[in-house]
Amino acid sequence: MDHCFDNFPSLAASVGKSSYVGINIASTLASYSFFIKKHGRLFRRGEYWRTVTFSTVAVVLLSLIFVLSATAADTTTRDLKDIPVGGWVVIMALATLIAFGLNAIGYSSWFGNRLLKANRKKQVQIDTTPFR
């Protein structure tokens, strides 16, 4: 009876995998929002691609650090030891593609225009408050 749930992922594992996307989008939108507040404009083309690339590299490096720390733990070493090097390459390539796609979407002008409108609306309210 104890092993009837072995085929289903645990809640912690499910939440961990789905939170990756949420954390990536949240950090992307937060950094984009800070950029808009500081500069009052959207990214230029070069800034966009540079930011997407650096954000993707940062996400991949953090993921690699987490994987290396997971393999250092005694409990997960048995589970991860069976994955061949080619499997790790495929896993990291997919993680890179997903991170790049999420960053490209998060830093897109579609999100940027909404953040810019919200920032300008807030700034107008702050500027007109003393005159009311």
Instruction: Check pLDDT > 80 for residue 9.
Output: no
- Greater model confidence, 98 or 17: 98
Cβ-based neighbours of 33, under 8 Å, separated by 6 or more: 115, 119
Model pLDDT for residues 31-63, shown as the tens digit of each residue = 888 888 888 888 899 999 999 998 888 888 887
Mean of per-residue pLDDT scores for the chain:
77
| Non-local CB neighbours of 43 within 8 Å, separated by 6+ positions | 35, 51, 107, 109, 112
How far apart CA 42 and CA 115 sit, in angstroms, is 9
- Rounded distance, CA 26 to CA 22, Å? 6
Task: Print burial letters for 65-100: b (CB count within 10 Å at least 16), e (below 16).
Answer: eebeeeeeeeeeeeeeeeeeeeeeeeeeeebeebbb
The amino acid at 119: N
Sort 115 into a burial class: Cβ within 10 Å, 0-12 / 13-18 / 19+: middle
Q: Would the pTM of this model clear 0.85, i.e. be above it?
A: no
Q: pLDDT-derived band of residue 12, with 50, 70 and 90 as boundaries?
A: very low
Position 1 scores a pLDDT of 46
Could you give the CA distance from residue 122 to residue 107 in angstroms, rounded to a whole number? 21
> What is the mean predicted confidence (pLDDT) over 51-80?
76
